[in-house]
Amino acid sequence: MSAGTSSPLLRTIQQGSVYYFPDQILSSSEPHYFIVINKNPAKDKILLLVCASSKVKEVEQSRALWRGKTVVKIYKTAYKGFNIDSIVDCNCVFEKGLKDLEGILRSGKLKIKPIMDRTIVDKLIDAVLESDVVEEYIKDMLR
């Protein structure tokens, strides 16, 4: 995609962009919040996304072995785009192409949410870097 394109995503995408859409990789067909964590997502070949869950207790219990280092709670008071407290398991990083997201946007199934505050995004990145299951090439893109 050329830099002169009028893609609404390409014009606005940045670290901390939040998109709400359904993804067939997840067990639920309901839409989820995905947060862009790339340093420069408009220029990278792939987008690195982490997914927020409203099932805070379930995620906390399933990640107890990591003692919370790779999960980040995001309270609805800290991010205006959430209407309930949420949690992100940073052991799972989703890779998407910009064209994939543009297709979801064109289908009407993607909503663009407010940009997430840098302090929260930094916590998400730190948690991804802390993970011993996230692949090194992903961590290299975040360093």
pLDDT at 10: 80
**How far apart (Å, rounded) are the C-alpha atoms in residues 137 and 65?**
24
**How far apart (Å, rounded) are the C-alpha atoms in residues 119 and 117?**
6
What ranges in 7-85 are assigned the alpha helix state H? Answer: 8-12, 56-62
What are the tens digits of pLDDT across the range 13-40?
Answer: 999 999 999 997 877 789 999 999 999 9
What are the tens digits of pLDDT across the range 41-94?
Answer: 989 989 999 999 999 998 888 766 566 789 999 999 999 999 999 999 999 999
**Domains in the chain and their CATH numbers?**
8-142 (2.30.30.110)
**How far apart (Å, rounded) are the C-alpha atoms in residues 133 and 67?**
15
Residue 4 — very low, low, confident or very high, per pLDDT cuts 50/70/90? very low
pLDDT at 3: 46
pLDDT at 2: 45
